[in-house]
C-alpha cells in the first residue's frame, strides 16, 4: 500500500487541513506512515505567522528534499506555500508540488490532478481519535496590523451550514465524540442570516456529538448571545479562547484590534458571571512597534487580573507586507525577549495555581488516548481545557467519565474516577 507522511506546523486550521488531505489520499489507498523514510509522499504543511515558523518549515523541507530517494514525492502545503507559491520549488530543489492554503477549498480537484484516482485502490481510513476539528469559516478580513493571515488565507467567508453538518456527521461515523469548530474569527460566522450562536445551538442537536469546542473568538465580535448559548447546554465545553494581544489601548488601536482593554475586561466579567468555572485562554503579543515599558506593564496587569488558564505568548515578528512591517520598529530583540520571558514567568505561575485550585474538584473527563510511557494512565481533557491523566480501561476511550482531581503536576491534573 502506498504511504504518506505528514509534518504539520502552525495552528489547528493546519491540523484540520492535513486531516482533509489525509482523508482524500486514503480514498486512493494511502496509509499514514509514522516516518518519512520510505514514504511515497512526504507532506509539509507550513505556517507563516512568525518568521521562526517559516524558518523551521524551510529547514525541514530542505532536510526531506536531501533525503529523497526511490521516487518519493515532496509536497508543501499551507500558508508559506501560499505566500511563496512555485518559487518554493526553485528555492528548495526537490519540492514536487506546492499547494497554497487558499487551494484547500478545491483540494479534491488538486489531488485529482496530482494523483489521478485509481478506482481499484481500496479506501483505507481508520482513525482511532475521539476528538477532531471542523472548519466553519475560512480566511480573515480583520487585518490586524501585525498579521499575515488575511494576505495568505484570503477573504473571510463562512462555510454553508449543511456542509458543516455533513462534515460533523462524517466524523461521528468515524467514532469522533468531540469537535472543535475552527475559524480565524468564528464570532463573525454568518451564513444566510445564521450567526455563530445559532450555528452552535443547531450543531448541539446532532446525535452522537458529545462535546463541542470552538476557536478563535475575537473580542470585538464576542456577544452575550454566544455566552448564553454556551451556558445553555451541557454539550459545550466551558473553554473560551479569546486573544487580547495587548493591554494598552494605544497599542490595541495601532494593532487595529477594534476594542479597548476595558471592553475586554467587560467580556471576561460577563463570561465569569454566566459560566463561573470557565477556562479562559488567550494569545498575547509583546514588543509591538513603539510599545513602551509602561504599556507592557498594562499587558502584565491584565494577565494578573484575568487569570488565564493558559496563554500562547509571542514576541512580535515583523511580516513582510503587513501594516506593522512598515512601522518603525523601536524595540530591540533583547528587550522583546526580556518582556516575553517576564510575561511567561507570570503566566506560568498563574497556570500552576489554577491547576492547583482544581485539586479536589469534580471533573467530566473525555478519555482520548493512552499515555505512552505509563501502562495504566489515560489522557483526557476536562470540560474546560485542562489536561487530565486518569486510570481507566481501554474500552473507556471516547467516554466522558466523572472523576475527581487528586493532584496537580503543573500543567496536568491527576484524577481518580468517581463511581
Q: 343 and 360 in contact (C-beta within 8 Å)?
A: no
Residue 220 beta carbon to ligand SF4: minimum distance, rounded to whole angstroms = 9
**Which residue among 218, 319, 339, 383 contacts ligand 5AD (CB under 6 A)?**
319
Nearer to ligand 5AD, 313 or 415 (CB): 313
Strands (E) in 270-353, as ranges, are: 279-286, 311-315
Q: Is 237 helix (H, G, I), strand (E, B) or coil?
A: coil
**Which residue among 20, 27, 103, 142 contacts ligand SF4 (CB under 6 A)?**
142
- Residue 222: how many other CB atoms lie within 10 Å: 22
**Which residue among 43, 47, 53, 140 contacts ligand SF4 (CB under 6 A)?**
140
Nearer to ligand 5AD, 153 or 319 (CB): 319
How many CA atoms does the CB half-sphere of 211 hold within 13 Å?
Answer: 26
Q: Is 187 helix (H, G, I), strand (E, B) or coil?
A: helix
Among ligand SF4, ligand 5AD, none, residue 185 binds (CB under 5-8 Å by kind): ligand SF4
Nearer to ligand SF4, 150 or 154 (CB): 150
Nearer to ligand SF4, 94 or 150 (CB): 150
Residue 292 CA to residue 64 CA, distance in Å, equals 42
Residue 107 beta carbon to ligand 5AD: minimum distance, rounded to whole angstroms = 23
Q: 348 and 313 in contact (C-beta within 8 Å)?
A: no
Question: Taking CB positions, which residue lies at the least distance from ligand 5AD?
Answer: 283
Residue 315 beta carbon to ligand 5AD: minimum distance, rounded to whole angstroms = 6
Residue 222 beta carbon to ligand SF4: minimum distance, rounded to whole angstroms = 12
Report the run of H or E that residue 243 belongs to, with start and end. none
Size, binding site for ligand SF4 by CB under 6 A? 10
Q: Which of 152, 117, 151 is nearest to 28 (CA)?
A: 117
Confirm or reject binding of residue 150 to ligand SF4 (CB under 6 A).
yes
Confirm or reject binding of residue 146 to ligand 5AD (CB under 6 A).
yes
- Cell 455566552 belongs to 227
Residue 263 beta carbon to ligand SF4: minimum distance, rounded to whole angstroms = 15
Largest CA distance in the chain: 66
C-alpha cell at 154: 484570503
Residue 35 CA to residue 42 CA, distance in Å, equals 9
Phi and psi at residue 237, to the nearest 5°: -65, 150
Nearer to ligand 5AD, 144 or 400 (CB): 144
Taking residues 277 to 306 in sequence order and writing x for each that binds ligand 5AD by CB under 6 A, - otherwise, the string is ------x-x---------------------
Residue 140 beta carbon to ligand SF4: minimum distance, rounded to whole angstroms = 3
Which residues contact residue 26 at a Cβ distance below 8 angstroms, ignoring those fewer than 6 apart? 32, 123, 124, 125
Nearer to ligand 5AD, 36 or 247 (CB): 247
Write out the binding residues for ligand 5AD, residues 48-77 only, by CB under 6 A: 49-50
The CA–CA distances, whole Å, from 285 to 15, 59, 115, 368, 373 equal 23, 25, 41, 31, 35
Nearer to ligand SF4, 123 or 143 (CB): 143
**Which residue among 112, 143, 273, 416 contacts ligand SF4 (CB under 6 A)?**
143
Residue 410 CA to residue 14 CA, distance in Å, equals 28
Phi and psi at residue 312, to the nearest 5°: -95, 125
Residue 340 beta carbon to ligand SF4: minimum distance, rounded to whole angstroms = 17
Residue 284 CA to residue 311 CA, distance in Å, equals 7
Confirm or reject binding of residue 243 to ligand 5AD (CB under 6 A).
yes
Among ligand SF4, ligand 5AD, none, residue 150 binds (CB under 5-8 Å by kind): ligand SF4
**Which residue among 72, 184, 317, 408 contacts ligand SF4 (CB under 6 A)?**
184
Nearer to ligand 5AD, 203 or 267 (CB): 267
Confirm or reject binding of residue 144 to ligand SF4 (CB under 6 A).
yes
Q: Pick the piece of the chain touching ligand SF4 (CB under 6 A) from 40-48, 142-150, 366-374, 407-415.
A: 142-150
Report the run of H or E that residue 346 belongs to, with start and end. helix 333-358
Q: 309 and 281 in contact (C-beta within 8 Å)?
A: yes
**Which residue among 177, 218, 336, 386 contacts ligand SF4 (CB under 6 A)?**
218
C-alpha cell at 105: 477549498
Q: Which of 272, 243, 245, 279 is nearest to 354 (CA)?
A: 279
Residue 404 CA to residue 370 CA, distance in Å, equals 19
Site for ligand SF4, rule CB under 6 A: 140, 142-144, 147, 149-150, 184-185, 218
Site for ligand 5AD, rule CB under 6 A: 49-50, 146-147, 243, 245, 283, 285, 314, 316-317, 319
Amino acid at each position: 500500500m502506498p504511504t504518506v507522511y505528514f509534518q504539520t506546523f502552525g495552528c489547528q486550521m493546519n491540523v484540520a487541513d492535513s486531516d482533509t488531505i489525509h482523508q482524500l489520499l486514503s480514498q486512493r489507498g494511502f496509509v499514514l506512515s509514522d516516518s518519512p523514510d520510505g514514504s511515497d509522499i512526504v507532506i509539509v504543511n507550513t505556517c507563516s505567522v512568525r518568521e521562526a515558523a517559516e524558518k523551521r518549515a524551510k529547514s525541514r523541507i530542505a532536510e526531506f528534499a536531501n533525503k529523497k530517494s526511490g521516487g518519493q514525492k515532496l509536497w508543501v502545503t499551507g500558508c508559506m506555500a501560499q505566500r511563496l507559491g512555485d518559487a518554493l520549488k526553485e528555492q528548495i530543489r526537490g519540492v514536487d508540488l506546492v499547494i497554497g492554503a487558499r487551494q484547500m477549498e478545491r483540494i479534491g480537484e488538486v489531488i485529482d490532478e496530482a494523483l489521478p484516482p485509481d478506482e481499484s485502490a481500496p479506501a483505507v481510513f481508520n482513525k482511532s481519535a475521539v476528538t477532531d476539528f471542523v472548519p466553519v469559516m475560512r480566511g480573515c478580513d480583520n487585518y490586524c496590523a501585525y498579521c499575515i493571515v488575511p494576505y495568505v488565507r484570503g477573504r473571510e467567508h463562512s462555510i454553508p451550514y449543511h456542509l458543516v453538518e455533513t462534515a460533523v456527521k462524517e466524523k461521528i461515523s468515524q467514532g469522533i465524540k468531540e469537535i472543535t469548530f475552527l475559524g480565524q474569527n468564528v464570532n463573525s460566522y454568518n451564513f444566510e442570516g445564521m450567526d455563530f450562536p445559532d450555528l452552535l445551538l443547531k450543531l448541539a442537536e446532532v446525535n452522537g456529538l458529545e462535546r463541542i469546542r470552538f476557536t478563535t473568538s475575537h473580542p470585538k465580535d464576542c456577544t452575550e448571545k454566544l455566552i448564553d448559548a454556551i451556558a445553555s447546554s451541557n454539550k459545550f465545553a466551558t473553554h473560551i479562547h479569546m486573544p487580547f494581544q495587548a493591554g494598552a489601548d494605544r497599542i490595541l488601536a495601532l494593532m487595529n484590534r477594534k476594542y479597548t482593554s476595558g471592553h475586554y475586561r467587560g467580556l471576561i466579567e460577563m463570561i465569569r458571571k454566566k459560566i463561573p468555572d470557565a477556562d479562559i485562554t488567550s494569545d498575547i503579543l509583546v514588543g509591538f512597534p513603539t510599545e513602551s515599558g509602561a504599556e507592557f506593564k498594562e499587558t502584565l496587569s491584565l494577565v494578573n487580573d484575568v487569570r488565564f488558564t493558559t496563554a500562547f505568548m509571542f514576541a512580535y515578528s515583523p511580516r513582510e507586507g503587513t501594516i506593522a512591517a512598515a512601522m518603525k520598529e523601536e524595540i530591540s530583540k533583547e528587550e522583546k525577549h526580556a518582556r516575553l520571558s517576564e510575561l511567561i514567568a507570570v503566566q506560568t505561575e498563574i497556570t500552576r495555581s489554577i491547576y492547583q485550585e482544581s485539586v479536589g474538584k469534580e471533573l467530566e473527563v473525555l478519555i482520548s488516548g493512552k499515555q505512552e510511557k505509563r501502562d495504566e494512565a489515560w489522557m483526557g481533557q476536562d470540560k474546560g481545557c485542562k489536561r487530565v491523566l486518569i486510570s481507566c480501561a481501554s474500552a473507556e476511550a471516547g467516554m466522558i467519565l466523572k472523576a475527581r482531581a487528586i493532584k496537580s503536576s503543573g500543567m496536568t491534573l491527576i484524577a481518580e474516577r468517581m463511581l
